[in-house]
Structure 1
Amino acid sequence: MNLLNFNQKKAVETTEGPLLIIAGPGSGKTFTLVERIYYLITEKKVKAENILVATFTEKAARELMTRVSNRLQEADIPFNLNEMYLGTIHSICLRILEENREFTRLKKNYILMDQFDQQYFLYQKIYEYSHITNIESIYGDRSSRWKKADNLLKWLNKVSEEMLDVDELKSSLEPQVQALGYCYELYLKQLEEENSLDFSTIQLETYRLLISNPELLSNLNQGIEYLMVDEYQDTNTIQEEILFLLGGKRQNICVVGDDDQGLYRFRGATIRNILEFPQKFDSGKCSQVELSTNYRSHPSIINFYNTWMVENNWTYKGKNFRYKKQIKPRDGIHVEADTVIKVSGSDGLRNWEEEVYQFLISMRNKGKVTDWNQIAFLFKSVKNEKVITLANYLEERNIPVYSPRSNMFFEREEIRLIIGAFLFLFPQFAKVRKWAENAHLEEWDIYDSYLREFAEKLRKKENHKLLKWCQIRAKEHVNLQRNTDYSFAGLFYQLLQFDLFSCYLEEVSYTVKDSRPIRNLSLFSKLLTKFEYLHRVTVFTPKSINSQLTTFFNQYLRFLINGGINEYEDNSEYAPSGCISFLTIHQSKGLEFPIVIVDSLDTTPRKQYSELDEILQENHYHKEPFEPLDRTKYYDFRRLYYTAFSRAQNLLVLSCQENKPNGSGTKKVPSRAFVELYKTLPSWRDATSIYDLTLEQVKDVNIKEEYSFTSHINIFETCALQYKFYKEFDFSPVRQGATLFGTLVHQTIEDIHKSVLRGEESKITDDNIEHWFNSNYSNLVKKERVYLAPQTQKVAFNQVLRYVEKQGKHWSQIKEAEVDVSLVKENYILKGTIDLIKGNNDTVEIIDFKSEKKPDLVKESEMMYHYKRQLEVYAHLIEERTGQKVSKMHLYYTGEENGNPYVTFSKEKKAIDRTIATFDEIVQKIESKDFTIKKRPEKHCRNCDMRFYCDDKI
């Protein structure tokens, strides 16, 4: 294990009161956080549930979880790590909301929208905003509906993130501000009607929950004793407010970050949070530690980016907008070599791509680069023609490129062909796509090219079977006489049976590079099922097929093409072996690479705020203006490239096509901001000492995955191939209709149990049960978009009443309900959700509910054995997590009308040990990608969307 340096040790052992850790690049920040958590657990004897750790990304949270659990295992210290509040601020807020949902506007089964969902939500409701006076000043006058939704989304999120007072906005004398207030008021109303949340309102709802429920906040303050917040420079206003509320009177808040790497102003982040943190407390109360020893980079690289930062003037009217710091290299001997160089195309020669290629080949041929993943290109954006051209140039010369955010999803062969297939299957789209005589969309040209490419493939002899099938289907669709039993997603899975598409699914290597086509097809399956969900499409009908086609191609798919789709990113491997990484600078934050090539040297500081931004900051923000607005473009520009330069371990490369011509002459490249440093750098062709460097290998992140019996082991044992497609590659199944009946019964019983646990048994009346039941049904229907017949609803309701009648005398035995339990094991995290735990003292019984009649225990012995093993996993989790002894395990059948609704299993340690050993073996198979099956499980095939593929291939 590495030893802590002096300042790291100070950061670890300073636990009481507020602490600011300024952690420069490569200074061992994550290592320090791990050791601080370890110190709290081992030396301060702090329990898991008393620690909150907020990270910047879910991936960072999972890595931290893995590293802490490994650290504790090395010391043989048992600890329920998953009890900790550990995750992004968004995920922690979501957990607090879910645990206390009854105190919020949210109902059960609320819908959580990502950014595309949110924009599409606004697009569908955009006409509701048109009556608002001066709405054009918010979403644009001549913009398309889609662009209006995009503009509106940004302003609505800003109101949430800055916690602006809606009534104050509405009463403003500024027409634009007033319009924004009315827009936000309408948006909140729409969210409530749809029982929805977006990522900004997750935080807003949490803030409101904490402010309006002092007793709840007090309980959280008592429970959460220590808070740690990573990447604090990228927090926004509402996040700071929430964290200080959770810190309570103790204020044991440790924030970690680097003001020089503040990159997310465009998302509402404010650098003032880290710069003003010490001033939030009485003078001298906030401790401060600086981690400035860089363990990552060569001293010359460190000197380069130190110089880059001091070149800028960070003082304005006597106020400094940067912590004064000097990053220094670790002690030791460093090789004498040129470690900051340039690899550029010469003025007027247009030879940039070739020069880059020759440099890469040179590093490989000299034996310096042993895996292409040691190299990362960093760009301001990877979605422009220049970057895509370079990626194609390198791939054509057998240098694979990993660029998941490059907007190339719709250019991939497998996606072009699948869209082309859909167009072929619906010949009528060519006629119905127009809404006016001269109407034309650029996407139609793209579609036409996809259709031609697919048609060319159909002419080949090996695709004759696919041609015949497509011709029959196309004829049926163009003259549709009756409802089909499928829609877009159903057709997608039928197409996978044919060689043209199945070739992408077979003998797949699990590397990111080789599995890109199958992962792209998986992503396309998600886009199809999302469309069907958003538009309530289940089948094609003669009446609706044409309108469904125009909506799918002219709106939904068109917006996705315009907005761009990110391809698959590996959660456990940030630099996939065998590939050079093409990343945005923002995307590279927190990462490190032996060789970093920084492009986008033609950029200049640009204004990032509008007139409305100025008005809101001057008149409506909760704090006085901080950084001068006209200086922010320079500050942000320096911070962006500082982050890029500091990713390099052994070799930093600046790269561009010098002085490239543009429409009006020649654009100066590199731009003025880079010139002074750039011109001092040697060209790679002259810097022969680069071949004396020993390059690091990319570190293995080694994230522990989570596995549960129902979501993983059960699927794998049913069919390993099904696991491969639906879990490993994450294909989205066609909606066969949610198990609405069982969920409805289950959730209403959960309401009853929660009432008991709150000490409110008197509220368990027929009227209240009916209210809970109807509310759950209403929100389930809204989310799942399927329905139950009135008679079926009545049967479900009677099951709940019967349960209350039979169990009403035993409420006092209930200890916990809907318990999420997890256990960190050596190689993975074991998880489960237990419906009910009851018992006395330290002996408990666990119960799992089934909303059906009790089966014949002899005829259904195989199913009973399966359920017994599931309960054994739960028993293992309970005993390992809490130390409580499980005496019995039960299934409770709510559909049993007259007999005993219980099926009871005795707990046997040997049986549990066998079940856990089998669990371990299956996890090992999953992680070694062993998805072979001896024969198909025929009875399960009829409900599996991959059956068409399997019918043809297996």
Structure 2
Amino acid sequence: MQYIDFFTKKKNELGVILNDVQKEAVLTNDGPLLLLASPGSGKTTTIIMKIGYLIEVLGVDPSRIKAVTFSRASAKDMEERFQRFFPNLPLVDFSTIHSLAYRVVREYFAKQRIDYQLIEGTNEGLNKKMILRDLYKAINNEPITEDQLEELITFISYIKNKLIPENEWGSVGIKIPKKEEIIKRYETFKNSGTPKLLLDFDDMLIIANQVLENNQDILSRYQQRYDYVLTDESQDTSLVQHYIIEKLVNKHQNLCVVADEDQSIYSWRGAEPEYLLDFKQIYPNAKILMMVQNYRSTKDIVEVANKFIQQNKKRYNKNMFTNNLPHKPIKIKTLQDYKLQSNYLIKQISKMDNLQDVAILYRNNSSAILLLDAFEKANIPFYMKDVDNRFFHHWVVEDIKNFMRLSYNTSRVDVFERIYSKFNGYLKLSQMEELKRVRNNESVFDNLLSFVKLEEYQKKKIQHFKKTYERMHDATPKRILQMIRDDLGFERVLEFRSEKFGYNLNNLVEILNTLEQIADSTETMVDFVNRLNHLDALMKTSKFNKGENAVTFSTLHSSKGLEFQTVYMIDLIDGIIPSKSKEEDEGAEEEREEEVRLFYVGMTRAIAHLELISYERKFHAPVKKSEFIDQVYKIIHPNEQKKPSKQEKKVKEKPINPNGIKERSILKIGLQVKHIVFGSGEIVFIDDEMVEICFEQSHKKFLISTCLKQGFLEID
């Protein structure tokens, strides 16, 4: 039979041997097929063999086959793989779904004589990011941060890919002030038609879907263009992308969808894994095959990963297995402190010869910064997969640099102007303008006290700031950072701005903590700033180590599709992965299951050695190891008796102070009070929720409701 000859020929030519399910996938070409491919199951090889079979055995014209991938990189990889397998065959049309959509849109606009322009990329004045920056500032009277901009772009992409109607935009949980007004004005601006219709990548998908829905002529032409359509990584495909494919194959339904719902980790981009679960409803005649034999990893890793993912409910009932031999059990390592993590990794990895076989995976890009610092000092080469990390140009880092610059010359009004609102002194723009009119080259603090009209509480703050800057001259960079955070009130300002503008306070504090750790090994502010600049440059140049003998640093998201002999998954603490505890996530089953899938993706990158690393303390605060580690431990040790947990000591509630202030009306700016812990001080600021008190050594903010309830304050 022809197909037997085909498989024998490829075995002899390429050494490719397919298992029974892979062969069945290659031979199933009439009607819809859902091929569920577990990690390491050889899905790309199977797809390439299937395309080759269509051409060599069934005689299909290569131009009649359309292969759709998730990214340009995977399209290129598949094309190169196809050429290696079938060097004498013409190329098949491999492309992304966006590329396909763009063809449809371009053809439609040409017919309609609609002039348009793409606003993705770096077009001056007319690029997506610039438009959104301008709109945000116009609506919120505040410049948008890079983090917020990325979140806003993700929000826009999410609602378009999920086809969420305008009246439901507000239900999407992101903390961007006036997000609905921004996107409405963004859409109005793009569709104004002067001088051209403006399009972003998400618009291409929306318009392509609408064209195929409403323009029978173009729909028929595309339906007749391809006899076979294959889509890869379809667990990452959004609803609008699925609809485009549906319309494309509606006539012949010769569709092969390759996916793994267990590896769907991009719901925040609009990915729709549930579409796969409903595949039979959409394509009633579909065949569903499960490729569950893992060729990548050892038995120790495959069996644990398989049991771990089974806690998820919204998945097909499939069991990944391997015929590979055991090697060594998954290792779980708990360190006493976060600071020990980089040293531990260096100690382990420095013993290895082939660094290219090693990967360190983490949830957030911020984890890479201290790795970068430590590995460079240890002279261990690395390749960082996500080189667009904006840490060293984050506004918090820039603010810290400006606080430090001011210490060199406190007469620098231009530097002070950049950060005056970041001091915890409640200085107003009008006061800053008064200061700028004073041009005597004296200290900004002296000029504020002498020439600017200030409230009494502001004068005390300015005097305090002046003394703090005087103390900075002989301090180490780490101590200076602590002064900026505490004595100048920068961290309290971050708390306030986080509440007002929806910043993630934990992320901002993490930046400060990371800066402190980098500063710990420097002696002067110049050394510290130079170190930051050096690490920034090092991060960018690490891309040249790709393919070299270097350790790979990658986020869990970016690691999908990769494999390494040894994998370290780090920073495995609750709040990072999972991002919320079970109690916090109650009622959010979909988000919870995606956290499980992300951890599963990380585990299944490892071929022979997998290590899960957590710690007990981070930046002086106790943390809890990821509950996923406990789950893995129980899978590895199913018969081990659970050790009795230490009974938490019940903290006795302090008796309410009988002399404590009970009435909110008593609290006034200027009132001398005594705090139960911090002693005597003066109220310098008060609003609906918070009271700020200036003590002899520090300023502190407290919740008014707590102070009144517990009697923490009394009149001094």
Q: Shorter-chain-normalised TM-score: which range?
A: 0.5 to 0.7
CA distance in 2, matches of 1:258, 1:343: 30
Extract unaligned runs of 5+ from structure 2: 1-13, 171-176, 406-411, 425-535, 638-716
Gap change, CA 1:254 and 1:390, over 3 Å in 2: same
- Partner in structure 1 of residue 297 of structure 2: 297
Query: Aligned to 2:261, which of 246, 259, 269?
Result: 259
> Is 1:87 aligned with 2:95?
yes
> Is 1:201 aligned with 2:203?
yes
CA distance in 2, matches of 1:381, 1:145: 18
- Partner in structure 2 of residue 352 of structure 1: 341
- Partner in structure 2 of residue 218 of structure 1: 220
CA distance in 1, matches of 2:586, 2:334: 36
Contact 1:191 1:197 in 2 (8 A): no
Gap change, CA 1:361 and 1:182, over 3 Å in 2: closer
CA distance in 2, matches of 1:142, 1:110: 27
1:826-871 alpha-carbon deviations (Å, 9 max, x no partner) = xxxxxxxxxxxxxxxxxxxxxxxxxxxxxxxxxxxxxxxxxxxxxx
Contact 1:596 1:651 in 2 (8 A): yes
- Partner in structure 2 of residue 889 of structure 1: none
- Partner in structure 2 of residue 675 of structure 1: 630
Q: How does 1:156-167 map to 2 (within 5 A)?
A: 156-166=156-166
Contact 1:122 1:149 in 2 (8 A): yes
Gap change, CA 1:568 and 1:281, over 3 Å in 2: farther
Gap change, CA 1:188 and 1:348, over 3 Å in 2: closer
CA distance in 1, matches of 2:207, 2:423: 40
Deviation at 1:341, TM superposition (A): 1.6
Q: Secondary structure at the match of 1:674?
A: helix
- Partner in structure 2 of residue 391 of structure 1: 372
Deviation at 1:189, TM superposition (A): 2.1
Query: Aligned to 2:361, which of 378, 388, 395?
Result: 378
Gap change, CA 1:659 and 1:178, over 3 Å in 2: closer
CA distance in 1, matches of 2:193, 2:366: 32
CA distance in 1, matches of 2:248, 2:83: 25
One-letter amino acid of the counterpart of residue 68, structure 1:
F
- Partner in structure 2 of residue 6 of structure 1: 20
CA distance in 1, matches of 2:376, 2:545: 19
Contact 2:339 2:618 in 1 (8 A): no
1:670-718 alpha-carbon deviations (Å, 9 max, x no partner) = 2223224247879xxxxxxxxxxxxxxxxxxxxxxxxxxxxxxxxxxxx
CA distance in 2, matches of 1:114, 1:233: 30
CA distance in 1, matches of 2:307, 2:253: 36
Deviation at 1:343, TM superposition (A): 4.4
Q: Secondary structure at the match of 2:611?
A: strand
Q: How many residues align?
A: 487
One-letter amino acid of the counterpart of residue 212, structure 2:
L
Contact 2:235 2:260 in 1 (8 A): yes
Query: Aligned to 1:278, which of 273, 277, 280?
Result: 280
Deviation at 1:274, TM superposition (A): 1.4
Query: Aligned to 2:320, which of 317, 320, 327?
Result: 327
- Partner in structure 2 of residue 340 of structure 1: 330
Deviation at 1:564, TM superposition (A): 12
Contact 2:137 2:144 in 1 (8 A): no
Q: Secondary structure at the match of 1:250?
A: coil
Q: How does 1:889-928 map to 2 (within 5 A)?
A: none
Q: Secondary structure at the match of 2:86?
A: helix
CA distance in 2, matches of 1:671, 1:22: 29
CA distance in 2, matches of 1:151, 1:565: 26
One-letter amino acid of the counterpart of residue 649, structure 1:
I
Q: Secondary structure at the match of 1:297?
A: coil
Deviation at 1:585, TM superposition (A): 0.7
CA distance in 2, matches of 1:152, 1:565: 29
1:285-321 alpha-carbon deviations (Å, 9 max, x no partner) = 10111101111010111011012122x251xxxxxx1
CA distance in 2, matches of 1:36, 1:48: 12
Deviation at 1:39, TM superposition (A): 0.9
One-letter amino acid of the counterpart of residue 256, structure 2:
C
Q: How does 1:467-478 map to 2 (within 5 A)?
A: none
1:19-76 alpha-carbon deviations (Å, 9 max, x no partner) = 0000000000000010011011112222222111111221111111111122222xxx
Contact 1:166 1:184 in 2 (8 A): no
Contact 1:155 1:180 in 2 (8 A): no
Query: Aligned to 1:38, which of 44, 52, 70?
Result: 52
Computed over aligned residues only, the root mean square deviation of the Cα atoms, in angstroms, reads 4.0
> Is 1:66 aligned with 2:80?
yes
One-letter amino acid of the counterpart of residue 49, structure 1:
S
Q: Secondary structure at the match of 1:4?
A: coil
CA distance in 1, matches of 2:33, 2:369: 44
1:337-360 alpha-carbon deviations (Å, 9 max, x no partner) = 324223443x36953322222222
- Partner in structure 2 of residue 120 of structure 1: 130
One-letter amino acid of the counterpart of residue 617, structure 2:
K
CA distance in 2, matches of 1:196, 1:564: 35
One-letter amino acid of the counterpart of residue 647, structure 1:
R
Q: Secondary structure at the match of 2:63?
A: helix
CA distance in 2, matches of 1:673, 1:19: 34
> Is 1:605 aligned with 2:562?
no
One-letter amino acid of the counterpart of residue 223, structure 2:
N
Contact 2:564 2:606 in 1 (8 A): yes
- Partner in structure 2 of residue 693 of structure 1: none
Deviation at 1:388, TM superposition (A): 1.7
One-letter amino acid of the counterpart of residue 92, structure 1:
L
CA distance in 2, matches of 1:604, 1:78: 46
Gap change, CA 1:256 and 1:70, over 3 Å in 2: same
Q: Secondary structure at the match of 2:572?
A: coil
1:487-511 alpha-carbon deviations (Å, 9 max, x no partner) = xxxxxxxxxxxxxxxxxxxxxxxxx
1:212-268 alpha-carbon deviations (Å, 9 max, x no partner) = 321111011011111111111111111011111111211111111111000001111
CA distance in 2, matches of 1:152, 1:564: 28
Gap change, CA 1:344 and 1:673, over 3 Å in 2: closer
Q: Secondary structure at the match of 1:590?
A: coil
One-letter amino acid of the counterpart of residue 616, structure 2:
N
CA distance in 2, matches of 1:117, 1:267: 20
Q: How does 1:656-671 map to 2 (within 5 A)?
A: 656=614, 658-661=615-618, 665-668=621-624, 670-671=625-626
TM-score of the pair, normalised by structure 2: 0.61
CA distance in 2, matches of 1:54, 1:629: 35
Q: How does 1:494-513 map to 2 (within 5 A)?
A: none
Q: Secondary structure at the match of 1:196?
A: strand
Q: How does 1:540-551 map to 2 (within 5 A)?
A: none
- Partner in structure 1 of residue 244 of structure 2: 242
CA distance in 1, matches of 2:194, 2:41: 45
Deviation at 1:162, TM superposition (A): 2.5
Q: Secondary structure at the match of 1:328?
A: coil
- Partner in structure 1 of residue 599 of structure 2: 641
- Partner in structure 2 of residue 700 of structure 1: none
- Partner in structure 2 of residue 828 of structure 1: none
Query: Aligned to 1:596, which of 567, 570, 591?
Result: 567
Deviation at 1:108, TM superposition (A): 6.2
Deviation at 1:125, TM superposition (A): 3.7
Contact 1:120 1:149 in 2 (8 A): no
One-letter amino acid of the counterpart of residue 635, structure 1:
E
Of residues 179-188 and 52-61 in structure 1, the stretch that sits farther from structure 2 once superposed is: 179-188
* Amino-acid identity (%): 25
- Partner in structure 1 of residue 71 of structure 2: 57
Q: How does 1:779-818 map to 2 (within 5 A)?
A: none
1:395-424 alpha-carbon deviations (Å, 9 max, x no partner) = 211211211426667869xxx9xx99xx9x
Gap change, CA 1:96 and 1:376, over 3 Å in 2: same
TM-score of the pair, normalised by structure 1: 0.46
CA distance in 1, matches of 2:423, 2:49: 57
One-letter amino acid of the counterpart of residue 309, structure 2:
M
CA distance in 2, matches of 1:187, 1:289: 47
